[in-house]
Amino acid sequence: MTRRDIAFDAEGVTLRGWFYPAEGTSGRRPTVVMAHGFSAVKEMYLDAFAEVFAAAGLNALVFDNRNFGASDGEPRQEIDPWQQVRDYRHAITYAGTLDDVDSTRIGVWGSSYSGGHVLVVGAIDRRVKAVVAQVPLVSGSANVAELVRADFRASFREQFDADRAARFAGDPPAMVPVVAEDPLAPSALPTPDAWAWFTETGKTRATAWRNEVTLRTVEMLGEYEPGAYIGRISPTPLLMIVAREDHLTPAHLAIDAYEHARQPKKLVILPSGHFDAYTSGFTGASGPARDWFVEHLARA
């Protein structure tokens, strides 16, 4: 599999990643634009998905979100979901400048947090001709309500307010771990499977991954409602891939959101948990995504 390093400007910030050319073809081809979820970097299995797409005759453009991995951006380790949505759109624009990309046949793929982003991008950017949202976040507020005990939430609010005051006074942003071994300890993603996947994958595939984000990142997570856009994606085709045992971005929230999407749409339910989509359930996740893009981008 031949891939090349890429870098492109996102209104003053350089984003970096990989371009996988479609295999067995020449000329301008359909292209899937891809970025990772909450704090994750491209080495955390995005290469595996891109290889599946390329083998099916699709280009794949993979990039690290700003402030993470190989991409530039400050403050480091901060996730502004709306900025990440805008960066997907910058990546689409960049893809359209490449000689081997057919700019009229662009799809977007996202997973977890970026699974929410592609719902928004698919709704507001008509350059997008197909959307795949894998184990997506659909409601920041509902997700926080599922993951954070009610008696912990007042403490979080106090921390957010104190951090805002400190930043106003010129202090650097406060930081919080992405995951913690103790699910009751402060962290952005307080589930045992999140701890296991991030720490193991960070050791084996992505040694540059850092187990921290700004505290403001968690505040912005709770404010983000990508599912509100889902009814506007049509007539762009939407595939949603949900994990039945997902308790990080709970399956019932995603399925409820899916019911508000209009045709054409399809729902695939994996018999597994959130992170299995990257590992033991990879074939079940990547195969339907590949087929969706081939079907809808080939005839776009």
**Domains of the chain listed by start with CATH number:** 4-139+225-298 (3.40.50.1820)
Note the pLDDT of residue 149. 73
Note the pLDDT of residue 1. 59
Counted residue by residue, the chain has a size of 300
CA distance 135 to 115: 7
Q: Which phi and psi angles does 31 have, rounded to 5°?
A: -140, 135
3-state helix, strand, coil in the chain (%, to 5): 40, 20, 40
Note the pLDDT of residue 155. 81
Q: What is the rounded radius of gyration, in angstroms, for the C-alpha atoms of the chain?
A: 18
Note the pLDDT of residue 100. 94
With both helix axes pointing from N to C terminus, report the angle between 282-298 and 46-55 in degrees, rounded to the nearest 10: 40
Give the Å distances, CA to CA, from 8 to 13, 70, 87, 95, 118: 8, 12, 10, 9, 20
- List alpha helices for 104-243, DSSP H: 113-124, 140-147, 150-168, 192-204, 215-223
CA distance 197 to 282: 14
Look up residue 276 and give its two tokens.
Answer: 């299995």
How confident is the prediction along the chain (300 residues), in pLDDT tens digits per residue? 589 999 999 999 999 999 999 998 888 999 999 999 999 999 999 999 999 999 999 999 999 999 999 999 999 999 999 999 999 999 999 999 999 999 999 999 999 999 999 999 999 999 999 999 999 999 999 999 888 777 777 788 899 999 999 999 999 999 999 999 998 888 999 999 999 999 999 999 999 899 999 999 999 999 999 999 999 999 999 999 999 999 999 999 999 999 999 999 999 999 999 999 999 999 999 999 999 999 999 865
Cis peptide bond prior to 237, omega within 30° of 0: no
CA distance 269 to 133: 12
pTM: 0.96
